[in-house]
Structure 1
Amino acid sequence: MSNAADTLATSFLSDRINALEESQTIGMAKKARELAAKGVDVISLSFGEPDFQTPQYVKDAAKKAIDDGYTFYTPVPGYPELRAAIAEKFKRDNNLDYKPENIVVSTGAKQSIANAVMSLVNPGDEVLIFSPYWVSYEEIVKLAEGTPIKLVGTLENDYKVTAEQLEEAITPRTKLVMYSSPCNPTGSVFSREELAAIAEVVARNPHVHVIADEIYEYINFVGEHVSLAQFAEVKDQVITINGFSKGYAMTGWRIGYLAARKEIAAACEKMQSQITSGTCSIAQRAALAALQGGRTSADEMVEAYRRRRDLVLEMVREIPGLKTPTPSGAFYVFPEVSSYFGKATPEGQVIENACDLAIYLLNDGHVATVDGGAFGAPQCLRMSTAAADEKLREAFRRIKVSLAKLA
C-alpha cells in the first residue's frame, strides 16, 4: 500500500493515534515471532522480560486468592493491605515515609507512568526526558500533548545526564522530568552524589516535578540503590514508580505502583477510575505475598543476571566496532554500533542506521535486537541479557558472524 493509500486508510482515526508510534520492543518481538512461525530458529534479545518463573510462593498465593473468593472489583488505588505493604517496602528498602494514601496500584508500571503524566502535563508543557530512555516515555508525553525534550547522556558518562545539563534545560514551561535508574536501556545507575546534585537543581525549581522510574531497583550490581525522593527538599516534587515485573519475575501479572504526595496520588486515582478502575484482584494478592516474602528470590536472580552481564560483555568486546560501558544494573547491554553504518550486506543493501542493522541481524543471524532510536540513541542497539547462558553464547556467536559479513 502506498503512503497516500496508508493516509487515506487511517484518515478517520484520531490525530492522537496516528501520531503515536508503536512500541519498537513489541514491534521487533512481533517480527521475531513471525520468523519463528516459519520454522526459523530465532533467538530473541528484544524483550525486557526475566526468563525466570514467578516464585512458587507467589503463585500459591494467587491460587489461594481464587479459592478465598477474591473475584470482585477492587478499590481503584489498590487493596488497603497491599498499599500498606508497599508503604512498608518503601520504609524498609528506601527509608521513605509514605502512607497508603500516597500510593496507587495500577495495571503495570507503564500505567502508573501514564497516570502521572496525564495528571500533570497540559498541552505545550515541556517534559525533559533523560536520554537514552525507555521507549514509552516520549509517546506517553505526546499523548498528553506535552512537548518532549531529550537531554542526552554521553557514552563517556555511562549515558547519564548531569545536573548541569538539567539546569541548563529547565525553563518556565518545564513541567516534568523523567528518568530511570537503573536505566532501561543502558543499565546505568545514578549514584547518591549524582542524584544529590540533581535534587539541588529540582529544589531550585518548585514548578518542576520528576518521575523517577525505579522498576529495576532490585537488579542492581553496584550495591546501593538511591531514590531521588530520599532527598527531603524534593520529596513532594517526586513521583516514584515501581512494580513487580522485574524484581519478582511477574511481567504477565501486570501490576505496578507509584508513590507521590497526596494530591498527585489522588489525581492518579481519579485518572485510573475512568480508564481501568482497580487492577486485577488475583494479581494484587500475589503482589502482597511477593512483598511479604522478602527479596530472597530477587537476590538469586540478580546473581544470575550479573553472571550473564559479564558473559555478554566478554563476548561483545570480542566483536570489532561495538562500544559499550559496563551496565551497573538492569539486564541489557547497549552497544554503540555506528561503525557499521555505511557498510553493505552480502546482498548489497547498505546499512544506513541501527534500524537497518537490527533487521539485518534478525534476517541473517536470526537474532532479534532493538534499534536504539526507539530509546533516543539512534547509534545504538539494545540487547537483553535475560536469557539462558547457552542462548546468549549462541546469539552473540551469530551476531559476530553476521557483522563480519558486512563490507
Structure 2
Amino acid sequence: MARDVDPVRFRSIADTYKWASLFLERVATCFGQDWLTQRLARWSWNLSTCFTGVGCAEQAAISLQNAAAKYAPGCGVAIKSAIEIDKACQDVLLSTYGPEHPGQCIFEDITKIDLVHQRTCYCQRHHKMCELQPQSGEGNMAEWLQGPVCIDYSMMGKRQGQHGKYHQTHVSYFSNMKASKNSILLIENVTEYEEALVKKELGPAWTLVSTRMDPRCLGLPCSRARVFIVGWKVQEIRWTAPFALSSFVGALCSKVVMNAGDYYWMKSLPQTMLTPSAADNLEAYKKMYPKFKYPDLTQSCKNGRARGETKDGCLPTLTTHTGQLYSQEMKRYLHPHEALSSHCLPVTAKQAKISSSPKLELEDACKTAQIRFAGNAMSVPCVGAVLLCCALALQKV
C-alpha cells in the first residue's frame, strides 16, 4: 500500500471519531471497493478481550463493524467476554456495553497465578460461573485481544523495581492460548515489550508479526507509542493480503495539524483554583521551562522532572496519575472527559454518534477513576488499524 503525500484526515477532535470510515475509504482507494467488500464479507469473529480498560478494543471493533456495513452488511464481530482488573472499569463495561451486547461476559481480576488455568470464572453480568475462553462459533474465528500489565515491561517499572510482578502470570496465559480455540491473538503493550517473549512461549505452531505505532502517526495530536503483536495458528489461519502489517499501518499515516490545546474542548469549564504548592510549581515552570504551554503540575520541575506537551506540541502520553495537565491559556486542568477523548473514547452523545459506538457510561466513576481509565487506555484508532488489517488479511485455511 502506498503512502499518501502528507494527507490531513483530522482537523478537529470531532473528526478523530470518524477514523473507522476514513480508514476504510483509504483502503477502498488503494485496492478498490470490490476488493474491500469481498474481504469484509468474510469478516466474522468471536472477540474476547483482556485488560483493555474501559472497552477500548470493543469501541474499535464496534466502530469498524458499523463503518464496514456500508460495504458488507452483516460482517464484523460478536463480542463475547472481557477480563478486567479494575472494579471501576468492570462497572463501566457492564453499563456501557450491556444494552447492545447482553451476552458479553465481564470477568473479575484473574491475575492470581492459581486462577490463570481455570476454565470458568465468576461473571459480573450473568452472576454465575461462565467459560473464560471464547468458543469458536459456526464459521467464526475466535480472536483474543489483550493488553498485558504494562508496568512489568516499562522503563518506569524497571526503575521502581517492579519488573516481574505479573510476569509469571502473563507467561502462564500462553499455555491457555495454545490449548484454547482461539485462532488469532493480538497483544498491545509498551514498546519495551518484546515479540521474542511471545514467540518463545507460543512456539512454532503460531506465526507472529508486529509493528510499533503512535497515534501521531495516524494524525492525532497525542503521544502513546505502543507495540502491536499479531499471532495466528499456522494450521488454521493464513495471511492472504498483498501487504504487510507495517505497510498497512504506514498507508494510514496522516499529517498532524492539531496540538495539545485542541483537547481542551470543554469551553464552559471554570478556571482551576490551584493549591499553593501547585501555584508555586506553575511559577517555577514559567521561569525554568517557559516552552511548556501545558505543564504537568504533578511533576515538580524544581526536581528536574519537568513534563508537558511533546516537542511537536502534542498531548504527552497520559499516565494513571496525569490529572494535572494545566493549560496556561485556559487556566485549568485537562478534564477527565477530555483525556479520554484523546483515545477517541466517546464521552458525549455527539461523539458516540460520530463514531457509531456506545458512549462511555461514566456517571458512577469519580474523576480520579476516570483519569486512571485514561492513563490505562489504548488508542482506539491504533487498535482499530490493526484489527482492520487482520480482518482483511487473515483467512481460514
Which TM bucket (shorter chain)? 0.3 to 0.5
TM-score (norm 2): 0.33
TM-score (norm 1): 0.33
